[in-house]
Amino acid sequence: FKIVFQHFVTVSQAEILGKGEIFIKSGSDINLTCVVRETPEPPSFIYWYRGNNVINYSQRGGISVLTEKQTRTSRLLIARAMPTDSGNYTCAPSSSHAASVIVHVINGNVWSKSGLNHH
C-alpha cells in the first residue's frame, strides 16, 4: 500500500504545530494540530496517517479528527494514548505538501529516561 502525494504548482505546505518530536505519557491524550499554509483554496480534505495507514477512520476507537476547512486546520485527538500509538504521524492535505511529527508514548515519568528529574 503506497501513498502518492500529488504535486501542484503552488507551494502550499502543511505544518504540525509544536516540535518535530513529541513525548507523551501513557494514558494521556495525543493532540496534534495541522495548519495548511500558503494555499489559495481550502483543502478539500486533510488525511492523517500513522506510518502508512490512514487513521481518520481507524478501528482503534477513541480517535477524533476535527477539520475546519475555512481556517485550514485539522486536529487529531487520540484518547488515552498507549505505547502502541507511538510512531510517525503525518498530516496530508489534498493540495499541499505533507507534514510529519514523531510521537513517543512512554510509561511512567516523561523525564525519567533523560535524567532531568533531579531534586
Domain ranges of the chain: 13-111
So what's the pLDDT on residue 59? 74
So what's the pLDDT on residue 9? 55
Q: Tell me which amino acid residue 33 is.
A: T
DSSP, res 44:
S
Domain 13-111: which CATH number of 2.60.40.10, 2.40.50.140, 2.40.420.20, 2.60.40.420: 2.60.40.10
So what's the pLDDT on residue 10? 56
So what's the pLDDT on residue 108? 73
C-alpha separations of 13 from 7, 30, 38, 41, 68 in Å? 11, 22, 7, 13, 16
So what's the pLDDT on residue 5? 64
pLDDT by residue, tens only, the chain of 119 residues: 666 666 555 578 999 999 899 999 999 999 999 999 988 888 999 999 999 999 866 678 899 999 998 899 999 999 999 999 999 999 999 989 999 999 999 997 655 444 444 44
Q: Helix or strand or coil: residue 84?
A: helix
CA 62 to chain centroid:
15
Q: Return the ∠ at Cα 94 (arms to 38 and 104), rounded to 5°.
A: 90
